[in-house]
Amino acid sequence: MVARHDQTTDPALLDALLQARRGTAFFARKLNELSDAELDGGTLLPGWTRRHVVAHVGYNARAIARLIEWAATGVETPMYPSPEARNHEIDFGSTLSPIALRHLFDHSAVHLNVEWRDLPADAWHQKVKTAQGRIVPAEETVWMRTREVWMHAVDLDNGATFSDIPVPVLERLLRDITSAWHTRGTDTRLLVKVDGTDLAFGDVGAADPTTVTGPLPAVVQWAAGRGSHGVTATGPGTTEGSPAAPKWI
């Protein structure tokens, strides 16, 4: 039997798919390390148990798969009927039995992977709409999923850290986060620098800014609102340590 393979031959897209699949495998490993009882434990996300995180990641795969179906058929298929429906779905998923919750993650990940694999090469450029209302080409869904699986593997609070996330993913995350700040105007007089690099984000032209610096994993962890360990801050507003990062999502 001939092995199935991705329909796209775009090297950059294939690399992106590989990163998403590696992130999915990493999340699966951290999930499988948890006992059923430990699924009730807390996470790095306030108000969410590990059950909520697993349910969210599972239903997120299904939602992204709907966008790929949209790209393949041309029939508009939103990620979610509404923000309320999305929240209800996660809350419901968190009440599933451990085996059902694990199956949700496994089956939804396989479904999304098959949708990606079978999408014709030219359909990757078809436009779809994200849950936030952004109009993007279908290829953007690969990054959307990459971000989810790598970060939420850390959120499980089961030993994974931002240092486990590949550097290209961390760099793009930092660009995404700081771009969101800039769009909202919440980065005024805030400068973010990464040790050992020329990377600088935020209000780079500000006089006397609040400057947050550190290794890339620590800076991204801080910017994503997951803690300030490993970063240092200087300038206004830093007398009591690193300031809280502006809201991202």
Cα of first residue to Cα of last residue in the chain, in angstroms, is: 45
The whole-angstrom separation of Cα 233 and Cα 114 is 45
pLDDT over 50 at 171, yes or no: yes
Q: Quick one: 244 exposed, middle or buried, by C-beta within 10 A (0-12, 13-18, 19+)?
A: exposed
pLDDT at site 155: 97
Residue 213's DSSP bridge partners are: 193, 232
SS3 13: helix
Looking at residue 239, its pLDDT comes to 65
Topology match between the domains 11-160 and 167-234 = no
> Across residues 232-245, what is the average pLDDT?
77
Task: Determine the pLDDT at residue 104.
Answer: 97
Is residue 139 a contact partner of residue 13, using CB atoms and an 8 Å limit? yes
Q: What tokens does 18 get?
A: 């590989």
String of DSSP letters for 158-225: SS--GGGS-HHHHHHHHHHHHHHHHHHT--TTEEEEETTS--EEE-TT-SS-EEEEE-HHHHHHHHTT
237, amino acid identity: G
Residue 1 has pLDDT above 50, yes or no: no
Task: Select from 1.10.287.70, 3.40.228.10, 1.10.3470.10, 1.20.120.450 the CATH code of 11-160.
Answer: 1.20.120.450
pLDDT digits (tens, 9 = 90+) for 32-64: 999 999 999 999 999 999 999 999 999 999 999
Judge whether residue 174 has pLDDT over 90: yes
Tell me how far apart the alpha carbons of residues 51 and 97 are, in angstroms, rounded to a whole number: 10
The predicted pLDDT at position 221 comes to 95
Q: How far apart are CA 111 and CA 61, in angstroms?
A: 8
Average model confidence (pLDDT) across the chain: 92
Q: What confidence category does residue 106 fall into, taking pLDDT thresholds of 50, 70 and 90?
A: very high
Write out pLDDT tens, residues 133-168: 899 999 999 999 999 999 999 999 999 999 999 999
pLDDT at 105: 97
Q: What is the mean pLDDT of residues 115-120?
A: 96
Instruction: Answer with the residue of higher pLDDT: 246 or 8.
Output: 8
pLDDT band at 99 (very low <50, low <70, confident <90, very high): very high
Per-residue pLDDT for 3 more than 60?
Answer: no
Q: Rg (Cα) of the chain, in Å, rounded?
A: 19
Tell me the C-alpha distance between 222 and 231, whole Å: 8
pLDDT at residue 218 above 50?
A: yes
Residue 137 phi/psi, 5° resolution? -70, 155
C-alpha span between 133 and 178 (Å, rounded): 19
CATH 3.30.1050.20 fits 167-234, yes or no: yes
Q: Give the pair of three-digit tokens for residue 24.
A: 């999915």
Provide the percentage of residues in the chain whose pLDDT is more than 70: 97
Q: Write down the domain spans for the chain.
A: 11-160, 167-234
Residue 32: which of 93, 109, 89 has the closest Cα?
Answer: 109
Q: Which amino acid is at 243?
A: P
Supply the pTM of this predicted model. 0.92
pLDDT score, position 238 = 73
Strands 127-129 and 135-137, sheet pairing:
antiparallel
Query: Which region, left, alpha or beta, applies to residue 119 given φ > 0 means left and ψ of -120 to 50 means alpha?
Result: beta
Q: Residue 58: which H helix or E strand, with range? A: helix 50-73
